[in-house]
Structure 1
Amino acid sequence: MAQAIVRNVRYAGMASCVPRRILSNIKDCPPQIRSARERIVRNIGIETRRICSEWQYFSDLAFDATERLLAELNWGRDEIDALIVVTQSPDYLIPGTAIILQNRLQLKPTTIAFDINLGCSAYAFGLHVLGAMMASGGIRKGMLLVGDKAASVIDPLFSDAGTATALEYDPDAPPMYFDLNSDGSGYEAIMLPAGGHREPYGLQHALPFKDDDGIWRSPSALVLDGPAVLSFSTQRVPPAVRNLLEFAQCPVADVDYFIFHQANKMINETIRKKLGLDPDKVPSTLHDFGNTSGASIPVTMTARIRDALLEGRKKVLMSGFGIGLSWGSCIVDIENAVFPELIES
């Protein structure tokens, strides 16, 4: 594990944007698989998901979230020194989406802008990268954009979302604590095998096939080893959270909210019970928003605890886990931050 403290950086605000289009895992599935889909919904806890329109991409959602956040913060575009995008849904293989958004947002040409390729654990990793860059004071204001376009009509798990988080250099800010980990031996557990240089797209990837459940699937679709992900998540995350609490010398009772990546109900409930956490301190958006990949932590904060975060200082432990395999957690004290209402685009 890699543990770290980021000092002198304030969590200034966050905005979340989801598509307007809502897809039901039961009502919008083929009739012949409805009973099977109902069982899946009971087990994973995801009934409705958000899916982009044909013209819409992750960068569009992130753009809308950033525009709203900048307006409510009353930050000038020429004040932004860094723009980091963490996504697995770039507009193009090259150049990076951050570069494109830097121009689209009309940020100054001297803005640092780059992408990080990460999914489920993206939020904690992204906060640390941007926060560590800012800690010395050379970068005064930075934006972290996290999310993915991962939804499909067929798959019952994933949703689309884009989020923007604002960090600001502040010598009086309380420290942020991090525990970040990676284990590449499990990289095949969540994988998009086609499309890279090792296996470029070919004709064989364009021909759908009928799976055992009667659904037509694409050979270029995401490969997800459910049992491996379940085992990894429930075995790795609880001790990592305990390690972080010990590192920060923070009792469980001092944490106001524990925000976990929204994987599925079975995984999240197992983690909560292993840690002995009060359900009221562990909000969930699985039922309404599904798995929004790296955006699931900020989306849950916006949709479930926004009012509480606006009331006064709150200590929030955030923990993401999945793709890589990787898992990262952080403890952040949030006070006087800006949280726009959920944006639908």
Structure 2
Amino acid sequence: MAIFALQNVRISGIASVVPKRVISNIEDCHPALQPERERLVRNIGILNRRIMRDWECFSDYALVAAEAMIKQLGWAKEDVDALIVVTQSPDYLLPSTAIILQDRLGLSSKTIAFDINLGCSGFPFGIHVIGSMIASGSIRKALLVIGDKSASMKSPLFSDAASVTALEFDQRAKPMYFDLNSDGSGFKAIYKPVGGHREPYATQHSIPVANNNGLLTWPDEVILDGPEIMNFSISTVPKVVMGLLEFANVKKEEIDYFIFHQANKMINETIRKKLDIPIEKVPSTLLNFGNTSSASLPLTITVEMAKELNNQSKKVLGCGFGVGLSWGTFIADIDNAICPPLIEF
């Protein structure tokens, strides 16, 4: 069981960026599909989504978020020791997006920069990777860049976003607690079969085929096994949440906010009810931002909690779960962090 405690690590700030372009799941679909979409919106809880322009990359938004975070904190760029990018939407297959961003941001060539290929669970994993480096004493200040370009006109679930979390060494910081897990036997629950070395992209993958409902799909799209994802989420998340609370010796009532990956309304409401958490302690951004993959936890913090975190201390439990299958949970005291308002780009 991968369960840990980290000392001397502080979350100093969180900045999030979304596209200005808003897509409505009801108004921006074919009129014949609107009744079905209305039922779908009631079930998944996603009305509006944000979508990047075709020529934009996730890193373009990450750059804006990182610049804003560095400026708000008053950090000198030469003092940023590490830049870790968690994404499934790299600029190129190689090199890593982190190294490209290191140069675009004007950071020192001594900055540690690399990518982590994770989706919905990426925020807890990324915080732990950077936190471990800081706790070891090897670095003092670092940026976690996270998010994806995953929105499309066809899928009613996904939305685009980028977020940057600043972490630094602080001997006064309260411990952070983590529980990180993986189960590759379920990788086909959420996967994109075409485009890697196992099945390289070829001409036939650009030809749409009709599914069982008569709708056209493309072979290179992400495949989602809805029932499997639902079963995995509602059976796994409550157990790991309670397990980490026990490990950290923290009572459920002591947590100010529970931040869950914004999967969909059915999944998240089932998890909340199984854990018997008051709805006011579980902020959600599903309605107007959809499923933003790895950025969903920091985006929700930015949208729903920024004002409180700017001048207060809050004990937060965050849990990301999904593609992999992979799931990660953390408990952290976020104390007077710098959280600028959501940036639209």
TM-score (norm 1): 0.99
Deviation at 1:32, TM superposition (A): 1.4
Residue aligning to 1:247: 247
SS at match of 2:309: helix
Deviation at 1:55, TM superposition (A): 2.1
Distance 2:95 2:243 in 1: 38
**Which consecutive segments of 4 or more residues in structure 1 shift more than 6 A?**
none
Letter in 1 for 2:251: P
Deviation at 1:309, TM superposition (A): 1.4
Residue aligning to 1:106: 106
Deviation at 1:212, TM superposition (A): 3.6
Q: Tell me if 1:324 matches 2:324.
A: yes
| Aligned residue pair count | 345
Q: What CA deviation, in whole Å up to 9, does each residue of 1:114-152 have, x standing for no partner?
A: 000000000000000010011022201000001000000
Distance 1:119 1:26 in 2: 26
Distance 1:143 1:271 in 2: 30
SS at match of 1:198: coil
> 1:9-158 residue pairs with structure 2 within 5 A?
9-158=9-158
Residue aligning to 1:171: 171
Residue aligning to 2:162: 162
SS at match of 1:308: helix
Letter in 2 for 1:90: P
- Percentage identity across paired residues of the two chains: 58
Distance 1:250 1:212 in 2: 48
Residue aligning to 2:292: 292
Distance 2:250 2:95 in 1: 41
Structure 2 unaligned regions, length at least 5 = none
Letter in 1 for 2:86: V
Letter in 2 for 1:112: I
Q: Tell me if 1:211 matches 2:211.
A: yes
Letter in 1 for 2:343: I
Deviation at 1:214, TM superposition (A): 4.2
TM-score (norm 2): 0.99
Letter in 2 for 1:32: A
Residue aligning to 1:196: 196
Letter in 2 for 1:175: P
Q: What CA deviation, in whole Å up to 9, does each residue of 1:89-135 have, x standing for no partner?
A: 00001100001000000100010000000000000000000100110
Distance 1:183 1:209 in 2: 31
Residue aligning to 1:237: 237
Q: What CA deviation, in whole Å up to 9, does each residue of 1:56-98 have, x standing for no partner?
A: 1110111110010100000011000000000000000110000
SS at match of 1:311: coil
Deviation at 1:208, TM superposition (A): 1.5
Deviation at 1:310, TM superposition (A): 1.9
Q: What CA deviation, in whole Å up to 9, does each residue of 1:240-270 have, x standing for no partner?
A: 0000000100001110000000000000000
Distance 1:178 1:231 in 2: 23
Distance 2:2 2:172 in 1: 25
Deviation at 1:216, TM superposition (A): 2.5
**For the Cα contact (< 8 Å) 2:320–2:327, is it kept in 1?**
yes
Letter in 1 for 2:17: C
Distance 1:98 1:333 in 2: 27
Range moving further from structure 2, 69-78 or 306-315: 306-315
Distance 1:130 1:295 in 2: 16
Deviation at 1:204, TM superposition (A): 1.1
Distance 1:205 1:53 in 2: 23
Residue aligning to 1:257: 257
Residue aligning to 2:7: 7
Range moving further from structure 2, 290-299 or 200-209: 200-209
Distance 2:332 2:216 in 1: 44
Distance 2:193 2:76 in 1: 41
**For the Cα contact (< 8 Å) 2:311–2:337, is it kept in 1?**
no
Distance 1:138 1:128 in 2: 14
Distance 1:266 1:33 in 2: 21
Deviation at 1:172, TM superposition (A): 1.4
